[in-house]
Amino acid sequence: MISKIKTIFECQNCGAQFPKWSGRCLECGNWGTLVESLSDDKKKNEKTIIDKISSADVVNLENVSNFQSERFKTGVSELDRVLGGGLIQGSLILLSGEPGVGKSTLLAQISDSIVKNNKSFANVLYVSGEESAGQVKLRLERLKCNLKSFNFVSETNLEKIISTAIKNKPDLLIADSIQTIYSSLVPSEAGGVSQIRTIAVKFMELAKKYNIPVFLIGHITKDGQVAGPKSLEHIVDVVLSLENDNRGAYSILRSSKNRFGSVNEIGVLEMTGTGFEEVKNASSVFLDNDLSHSFPGSSFSCVVEGNRPFLINVQALVSRTVFGYPQRKSSGFDLNRLQVLSAVISKKQKLDLTNQDIILNIVGGLRASDPALDLAVSLSIISSYLNQEVIGKMAILGELGLGGELRPISYLDMRLREIEKMGFSDVLLSGSFTETEKEKIKNNFKKLKFIFVKNLSEAIKSVFSIKNK
């Protein structure tokens, strides 16, 4: 009997299916995400299917040999840092980013470097549904890659790509991009929820069965999320994002998922005429060359991403609002956290911010979520409000509670070493330390002058010379 084919509408964000179109998905609440597709309404006999399918092989874990987690250096230390130490065979990695951020350039450099640094890698299969062989060759020549190591396929059909990969047995596969590839077995257009989910699963099977590292390039939506269903990120082993800062010269590579390492690591890269170059000293990227140059609203702090500390410049601008409701805007810092810190300052320090616009910026385009940044943000706001500079070359470290109390921070030694290396002279440090602990900190970092504070009031008195009005 011929199965009944009917039209359904599938959400491009969550994959929910509906019998008719509506402007809003009833599952995830997003607007304009329902796309028409076909559905096979044939009812299947579950028992018959189970009887026909052979059972899977069961293996006792005691008899399984140890998992081979040997990592291969990519030749790009910033990427190795984000991956957790290097590339693992048979891994499926998704690289996302805005158009023109350099995703294809980065993967081309990585592929060439992997081949040069590892004898077990000899050839790369580059699959593109967006560019011709001539375009890819021009990019590789500009990057001074070894063209002999690259085999190119211009194809968007998934079945042909998988068949080609099995036949040629590449040591590394790049698919640019997953949104342009389609499976002839799925009755929908390329980029749809069903298509992307099917493609990701097939590439995962290819990577695991033939032990081939696979890189997938993915586009992102306007709100910065990977285009396609959320399940795509669950299928792959690693999700990387390449972000460009406000100045356009530096790019930040970070991971939001990593089955083989930490998700908190970041890598800093600089785009040049011959591709990406590594930035060894991340602090230099986010700091001005002249640290002595200061103004009201500016302060410095040290954040930790993964196992990497670096100094950042926090800038705040507080001015009387011209609107009925004061604005709160932030770049690189959580807006909700900014609202909380503003409320604590207004309540505990009796500084009226209810009629003040507050604009906060983390210099360099970095997105920072480290709790140790709370005190620096708060003092930057107060500094701008009072129109008084933060004294000296001071690094400010502290987490602020709702009662105005300051809590101790993690990775203290790591942060202080970075602060000392970057030439700072003073450190404002939060927490209730004993005299013995204070002396130990001072002896370990003799080049630094410490100011220990327990709450926000003490921090303000230590930093500013506030005159009674």
324, part of any domain = yes
Q: Which tens digits make up the pLDDT trace of 319-354?
A: 999 878 899 999 989 999 999 999 999 998 888 898
Pairing of strands 426-430, 449-453: parallel
Give me the CATH number covering residue 406.
Answer: 3.30.230.10
If asked whether residues 410 and 451 sit together in one domain, one would say yes
Token pair in block for residue 397: 């470290």
Q: Is residue 65 part of a domain?
A: no
Could you tell me where the DSSP H helices lie in 143-265?
Answer: 158-168, 193-210, 231-235
For residue 290, name the pLDDT band (cuts at 50, 70, 90): low
pLDDT value, residue 263: 81
| 292 is a domain residue | yes
Cα(187)–Cα(184) distance, rounded to whole angstroms? 7
- SS3 state at 305: strand
- Look at the chain and report how many structural domains it folds into: 3
Q: What's the rounded mean pLDDT across residues 311-318?
A: 93
pLDDT single digits (tens) 127-178 = 998 889 999 999 999 999 999 999 999 999 999 999 999 999 999 999 988 8
Query: Are 193 and 249 within one domain?
Result: yes
CB atoms within 10 A of CB 212: 21
Give the rounded percent of residues in the chain with a pLDDT score beyond 90: 43
Supply the CATH number for residue 197's domain. 3.40.50.300
Tens digit of pLDDT for each residue in 187-244?
777 877 778 888 999 999 999 999 999 999 988 776 666 766 677 888 999 999 888 7
In this prediction, residue 1 carries a pLDDT of: 45
pLDDT above 50 for 467 = no
Tell me what pLDDT residue 126 has: 94
Say whether both 317 and 253 belong to one domain.
Answer: no
105 and 135 share one domain: yes
Which has more confidence, 112 or 35? 112
In a shared domain, residues 262 and 292: no
Tell me, yes or no, whether 171 lies in a domain.
yes
296 near 387, Cβ under 8 Å? Answer: yes
- In a domain? residue 59: no
Which residues form the domain of 421?
285-463
Answer yes or no: do 299 and 403 share one domain.
yes
Which amino acid does the sequence have at 256? S
Strands (E) in 56-140, as ranges, are 71-72, 87-88, 92-97, 124-128
Q: Between residues 194 and 414, which one has the greater pLDDT?
A: 414
Q: What is the pLDDT of residues 350-372, one digit of tens each?
A: 888 989 999 999 987 788 889 99
Between residues 245 and 463, the one the model is more confident about = 463
